[in-house]
Amino acid sequence: MPDSGVGRAQQEQHEYIPAIDSAAPGPSATVARRVGLLVTLVLGGLTALPPLSMDMYLPALPAVTDSLHAPAATVQLTLTACLTGMALGQLVVGPMSDRWGRRKPLLIGMVVYVVATAICALAPTAELLIGFRLLQGLAGAAGIVISRAVVRDLYDGIEMARFFSTLMLISGVAPVIAPVIGGQVLRFTDWRGIFVVLVAVGVALTLVVWKFLHETLPPAERHTGGVPDALRTMRGLLADRVFTGYMIAGSLAFAALFAYVSASPFVVQEIYGASPQTFSLLFGVNSIGLIAVGQINGKVLVGRISLDKALGFGLAVISLAAVALLLMTSGVFGDVGLLPVAAGLFVLMSCMGLAMPNTNSQALMRTRHAAGSASALLGTSQFLIGAIASPLVGIAGEKTAVPMAVVQVVCALSAMACFLLLCRPWRNGDAPA
């Protein structure tokens, strides 16, 4: 492997990073590990940006409601708009990256993200904020979809599953620290300061991508057929029952997670009376659980048991946790208080560390020929279903957590049913993937 794969930005379209063979002996293995570390750090930053954009903003939702004189349901649409943008943006950027390579669409998306975030900081009305959060999501989608495509370019099989778990560790730092940072920023300024911080992060990440992330898709493997070819490719992917099963199961699990993300600021702060700092702490603890289970998946389970077994167990526990939350929030056990509800949310969030990386890995293992389009479909499905779940959690107002729990139960049980009916894991054997 050439040492220049990821060390400096290069403009020639004919050069690219070849697939990493971490098992190769001698100096090439050392180079592979060094290149792999740089790729991991860069892709980790790209996948961390969306949760950073969402979660830093969460402690400020009540403050935005007061500042812009808008109802809570309207302010929650700023989350829905960002998610919708991320969904639609991936659908566009994924095929673009299959045609023009990974690097150019990614850099364009990052620049637009920085501009849109800066305008969000200046938005005078909730409607304008919703509009530019949509644009922010559209641009930020480039980092999400291209990161997954780059992983598929460089890795396969067990190594890809392990890499996704490693990415979860890096990107998982974002939801751990983002609400804490957001809560601290609110000590010194208003909610607009959070977007100023995001602008600085976006600029720094754009420079890192420009300098360190080189092209990973060789010209010989690029699609040149334009929009009709991209649509045919996506139609072919969706016709694959197993790919579609993993895609929908992962998307429904993500929707259960995002029901928590969008509802938790009001549930924890408005219903249970916690401060923004306490909310940030609880959110961070839940994110640590997700990271820890993700690392157990990548370091311990992958290669020892099949990915389908780990995925099935994760979906089962998520379903049980969601049912427990519904029973607690609906008053079946009386007034349980914040601690039991926080425990249920911790279990649900933690087991996402089994669901998310394994659905992505299993789906992408089937799509070497069109990693960008496959990544776009995975991301679009996740964010569209998450965007639908977001406003539903507030449908009964700010004084009850029951809608959040109902959405989580429906999504979790539907994910399990989809996994069993479409993926049919018992046909894949018991050997590790």
C-alpha 15/C-alpha 11 separation (Å) is 8
Output the six-digit token pair for 111. Answer: 């620049």
| Ordered DSSP codes for 305-364 | B-HHHHHHHHHHHHHHHHHHHHHHHTTTTS---HHHHHHHHHHHHHTHHHHHHHHHHHHH
SS3 content of the chain, % helix, strand, coil (to 5): 80, 0, 20
Distances (CA, A) of 126 to 15, 62, 65, 419: 45, 13, 9, 39
The pLDDT of residue 312: 93
Find the radius of gyration of the CA atoms of the chain: 21
The pLDDT of residue 430: 37
Nearest to 385, CA basis, from 415, 359, 364, 405: 415
List all residues 6 or more positions away from 124 whose beta carbon is below 8 Å from its beta carbon. Answer: none
The pLDDT of residue 411: 94
The pLDDT of residue 226: 61
Output the six-digit token pair for 170. Answer: 């890096």
C-alpha 81/C-alpha 86 separation (Å) is 9
Output the six-digit token pair for 377. Answer: 């479909």
Read off the DSSP letter of residue 302. B
C-alpha 429/C-alpha 137 separation (Å) is 39
pLDDT by residue for the chain (433 residues), tens digit each? Answer: 444 443 333 343 334 444 444 444 434 444 444 456 777 778 888 888 877 887 787 788 888 888 888 887 788 788 888 878 887 888 888 788 877 888 888 999 999 999 999 999 988 888 899 999 999 989 988 888 888 888 878 777 677 777 777 776 666 667 667 777 888 888 888 888 899 999 998 999 899 888 888 887 787 777 766 667 777 878 888 888 999 999 999 999 988 988 887 787 778 887 877 787 788 788 778 888 888 888 888 888 877 888 889 999 999 999 999 999 999 988 887 777 888 888 999 999 899 889 888 888 888 887 766 777 787 888 788 877 877 877 787 775 566 788 888 999 999 999 999 999 998 887 754 333 3
C-alpha 360/C-alpha 18 separation (Å) is 22
Looking at the DSSP assignment, which residues form a beta bridge with residue 305? Answer: 302
| Ordered DSSP codes for 175-241 | HHHHHHHHHHHHHHS-THHHHHHHHHHHHHHHHHHHHH----S-GGG---SHHHHHHHHHHHHHH-H
The pLDDT of residue 303: 78
The pLDDT of residue 333: 79
